[in-house]
Structure 1
Amino acid sequence: MKKSNQQEMPSLLERHELKYLIPFSLVDDISDFLSIYCSKDKYSENSEDGFYDVYSLYFDSPDFLFLRKRLEGAENRFNMRIRTYNIDSGMPCFFEIKQKRNRIVRKYRAVIHDPLWPQALETSLHPLEGFQSEKDALNADLFIRLLCSYQAAPRVLTHYRRKAFISEVDDYARVTFDINLRCQLEEQFNLTPDEAQMNAYDNETVFDPDCCVILELKCYSTQVPLWMLDLIRYFDLKQGCFSKYSASIHQVFGNFQYDMGDRLAGSVSASVGWG
């Protein structure tokens, strides 16, 4: 019997993250498979096509230490970002730190309801307000301390469309499909994209041919659900690695453009408002 797992994501979470690059043609079939064990998350449930917008502002040090640690394959590394799903108001937004040590990802997340958060990060004159839990306050404090320690600043803003499922038979397991990845250079505390500056980076120079969707399987670090293993075997999925931050930095600083008319996810573009 299914149980409801539609609670908010924990403030601190240790999990496995398995990534696969798949063709868009597999999204419906995998979604059907997942329907036995999962339900759509609240954002997908409220979306007509199941996909919703995700906006993430990534930070790095002046010498791009976070990026270099990733490219070097450091066993202990982290990145920092601010995320929102509501571009109209920008609220709530989420301060997130993702630390990867060996194969385990530890994610710290603070829910932010203070619309003056940019001022709080730019100056100590405006302390953040409106926390709904002590853990949110502690994680926000950690985010700000790391920001100051590494002199981290905004580097790139990303936008993509996501379809997400949450397990109804496990304490925590999550599956996401990400499509239509775009990015722009961003040096301000800003979560609103400039359409004239946004560029796609889910093309064949980054992805394998015909594979334009990032599929992620996420679960507690202590146990991988059996149905996830069955899914991997049934669809013959080949695990890979992909970093939205690394790919978007390459797109922005590599100074190459991509013709939107050649997008592999063109079948979805019209339905999600691409122009």
Structure 2
Amino acid sequence: MQIKKVFRQERKFLISGEQYYRFSRQFAELFKEDSHNGKDGYMVRSLYFDTLGNKDFEEKLAGVECRRKMRLRIYSPQSRTALLEMKQKQGSNQLKRSLTISREHAEELMKGHYEVLLEYSDPFATECYGVLKTNCYIPKVIVEYKRMAFVFKENDTRITFDSNISASKLTGRFLEEYAGCFPVIHPGCVVMEVKYNNFLLAYIKNILQISNKSETAVSKYALARQAVFRF
């Protein structure tokens, strides 16, 4: 069992394919690439849970100051493990906690059998069980995209570029090779996320060269939820 805790500030930008090409080349020269990048980045697939009344989604749309999201995450359909994550927004800060669980336990969570979390000794597993069970969470949407990431040890900075963002309401196919996803954003658009602790380093600001008007509250999760509601 492995618990990971990350506390950062996060800024998002919706950029064009041309901007992505330019920025990614600059970051590749100065920062270390994520070890999972490969030649073209790596796949990220998440299964989001929400209450029967869609409380988390409604709070996201309303911009509630303190809110959370519950999800399972994998990086390959063949993975033998998955991450159970609770992401909490606290003002301008983001707290993300992750618990590594077995593929078999991920399958049980997809069925609403949250009792398997009690087999883990860490208090975070018990907390997740309480949240999922008490609030009657169920799987709602799959979100999938390709990610290219760069890391910088100073200020624990991480910059990601997410493209080919798609969604599926076929939540039972989360661990299958094809999850039935469809695009939820124009294929030429890329979501760039800049995650850091305390403050954003000046020379990263200079590289970005983006005005505040380019910063956006775009959310892959919200795009997917809205798309699933439409279809």
**TM-score range normalised by the length of the shorter chain:** 0.7 to 0.9
- When Rg is computed on C-alpha atoms for both structures, the one with the higher figure is 1
Question: Is the contact made by 1:84 and 1:91 (CA closer than 8 Å) also made in structure 2?
Answer: no
Matched, 1:68 2:68: no
Q: CA deviation at 1:227?
A: 2.5
Question: Which of the residues 99, 102, 114 maps onto 1:113?
Answer: 102
Question: Which of the residues 81, 85, 90 maps onto 1:101?
Answer: 90
Distance 1:215 1:10 in 2: 26
Matched, 1:177 2:164: no
Which letter maps to 1:199?
F
In structure 2, relative to structure 1, the CA distance for the partners of 1:252 and 1:114 (3 Å cut) is closer
Question: Is the contact made by 1:154 and 1:186 (CA closer than 8 Å) also made in structure 2?
Answer: no
In structure 2, relative to structure 1, the CA distance for the partners of 1:172 and 1:155 (3 Å cut) is same
Matched, 1:143 2:134: no
| Aligned positions of 1:7-86 closer than 5 A | 11-44=4-37, 47-49=38-40, 51-86=41-76
In structure 2, relative to structure 1, the CA distance for the partners of 1:96 and 1:155 (3 Å cut) is same
In structure 2, relative to structure 1, the CA distance for the partners of 1:251 and 1:120 (3 Å cut) is closer
Which letter maps to 1:28?
Y
Describe the superposition over 1:43-102 as per-residue Cα deviations: whole angstroms up to 9, x where unpaired: 10xx222x11110000100000000111111111111111000212x3321111111121
Question: Is the contact made by 1:82 and 1:93 (CA closer than 8 Å) also made in structure 2?
Answer: yes
Q: CA deviation at 1:155?
A: 0.3
Query: What SS is found at the alignment partner of 1:111?
Result: strand
Question: Is the contact made by 1:57 and 1:191 (CA closer than 8 Å) also made in structure 2?
Answer: no
Question: Which of the residues 205, 209, 213 maps onto 1:229?
Answer: 205
Unaligned 5+ segments in structure 2 are: none
Aligned match of 1:239: 215
Which letter maps to 2:113?
T
Question: Is the contact made by 2:72 and 2:106 (CA closer than 8 Å) also made in structure 1?
Answer: no
Q: CA deviation at 1:147?
A: 0.6
Q: Which has the higher strand share?
A: 2
Count how many residue pairs are aligned between Structure 1 and Structure 2. 228
Q: CA deviation at 1:243?
A: 1.4
Which letter maps to 2:128?
F
Q: Percent of aligned pairs with the same residue?
A: 24
Unaligned 5+ segments in structure 1 are: 1-8, 205-209, 256-275
Aligned match of 1:199: 182
Distance 1:201 1:113 in 2: 30
Distance 2:126 2:203 in 1: 38
Question: Is the contact made by 2:45 and 2:145 (CA closer than 8 Å) also made in structure 1?
Answer: yes
Question: Is the contact made by 1:157 and 1:193 (CA closer than 8 Å) also made in structure 2?
Answer: no
Query: What SS is found at the alignment partner of 1:191?
Result: coil
CA RMSD after TM alignment: 2.5
Q: CA deviation at 1:18?
A: 0.5
Distance 2:185 2:10 in 1: 20
